[in-house]
Amino acid sequence: MDTIVKVGLSLNFLGTLMVCLSFGKNREGAYQTDDRNRRIYLASFLHPTIFKWGLILVALGFLLQLVD
């Protein structure tokens, strides 16, 4: 594989991790209940800056792969 493809794949991986880590447990402990009265805890969008940078890295990674 060429170097540019490896860099693109690395950027995709890093960007995906950043997008995943930008969400987390709700700080207030909010939840919903399902039809069996089980608690389903809600996720919150905690780090918008990390999310934006993650999307940028994913886009750059795909762009590098397309260029090659």
Its domain, for residue 28, covers 3-67
Above 80 in pLDDT, residue 12?
Answer: yes
CA 50, CA 14: separation in Å to the nearest integer? 11
Above 80 in pLDDT, residue 1?
Answer: no
pLDDT tens digits, residue range 19-56?
A: 999 998 888 888 899 999 999 888 899 999 999 999 99
Provide the token pair at 14.
Answer: 């890093």
3-state secondary structure 4-64: HHHHHHHHHHHHHHHHHHCEEECCCCCEEECCCCCEEECEEECCHHHHHHHHHHHHHHHHH
pTM over 0.75: yes
| Number of folded domains that form the chain | 1
CA 18, CA 27: separation in Å to the nearest integer? 19
